Structure 1
């Protein structure tokens, strides 16, 4: 196999892996990464060997893996994405993970938000059938229900488990919210001026929101007959109303989840029928599931990949088929749960309150600030540009061949 790899491909693999490592170092590796990304010729790691020409735009294929894994959303990751044009939806040839999947695995909330704000798909699935929300839920379950051995491992290595659980919960809520809204933009726009995650990942959304608010206020001031001044309710009453809504939503979500899980389990065929339909009718598959303690399709959903990988009597290909069957059952349940929870929360939520305009501010703006200065403020005080992202996929055959054999 190695003899079929040309020297040029080995050089490309070396330079891409070197850049990935530099990106993983964040600010410490940024200067060297910029220097290396400008190279047009390189060698295979031995300076005594021949330097060969690198393909045009080879730097767009630098993996985001290192920058994402270490959470460098303020240094090397923006350089790779916004300057070099590395695709945010690139897929790892080993397991089908996108950079967003890698960020979820490592629990990096701001990295996930950064990638989604720049075009990464929230519903992309890896080779195991997990989209981002499903992967985040699975990771969170393992963190919260970890065994004593797992907790001892975290303690021994100085890992703050509680901090991981808390950030994982925030990450799960974000991805479930994006999935319910149907995409990042639909979820982020209403939160542009009140969410720190959105403000960091997509500052232009906050700027746009402030510009709209300023324009609306100016328009209201120009036509005073349309200006509705609504007195603010006492803080205590606002808090009580918000608490009631929160309580109603807290009850609606778990109830909808439980009902959806029960409905999916009730609609499941018998385990033999489900295996036969999935072309797993052989006795070895049923025997393997019995050995794992799964008597129904719903029981199989409690299995994880490690358990399936330990089953005796199956070949590697058969274990993979069995895991894909289990992952498909899990995905079916998770999709139903997400849809039910979204519907329940929408029913329980309170419509947003009307926009309140302070009378003193409105009158002061009307008297002292004509349209010209308002435009100047909107243009400069809230300046934030949307980054131009190169969405073209990498198509150079030599570069793709090097990516396929990288050590990631």
Structure 2
């Protein structure tokens, strides 16, 4: 029986993970559930899944969590704060961790799970973007198994699961849906609304990730992730826009072979791979009927003029050091400002580019150095966003 910690349990990935877990009561159990501020939603999940531990990130909400669990008649232990989350992620309370906390806030618990040798189902892309070298080193030293559950990286994992096959690797091709604004030119994006940006045509995701998909920053972050996960240089990672979102990624080998993983756009497939690998377990997702899906697969190059965030991510990867951390932090600040309607859609890449130019890359020698770069980038990006809001 795998004892699973679902970190980010009230989000969309957490909901998908718990759906898969519930389908396998003889082999999977939700032992730890963690959320940010949604206490009532967390208590309801505890009613349904009866974990040993529940964690709320905001310490001020601990009494509310404690009372909710008591009133529900549950024996679940209530915890609060990052330190509790880190301790549980690295403890005997779980052997499998779903890392689905959005943003840089997910890094400490992800690192703790890696150091403790857990099976780590990694959905927190910022952990790799901010501290990829440190995370992969922690996983190697701790004996952790990282299974990415982003659909694109999970596809690569399935096509390229073992080290020997990587000797013949030519390149990795990440696919992108193109988001809600595929085909539009830069000028037409000046007045897009928050509602339009979060209305993804294929995937059901949270607002921040949906905006990242609309700007193609999500794909840029995935390029950096792929570099760390599969030890592939940025020059051997390509991106193709694939509007059907059925081919999740492709792997090309030196002999001319190309392997692709296909499936319906549903995160439960990747999560089931993570829970069951090397076995295959039911995910609740139907098999793919290409004829029913329209019978065609289209591909096109990304428009880097309309969506410069993808270019900025490649630039940050090439610069190395702290540049990816600066990119990630500036993007989080810019997207937050957009979601709060303080800046326009095109201000997102402008703020990121301005921050990267103001804070040149330095060696990422430690987690403290990365946190410092993250802090400086957030301050600069916040100033840039404020200037654009008042302009």
Q: Which has the higher relative contact order, 1 or 2, with Cα contacts under 8 A spaced 6 or more apart?
A: 1
Higher Cα Rg, which structure: 1
TM-score scaled by length of structure 1: 0.28
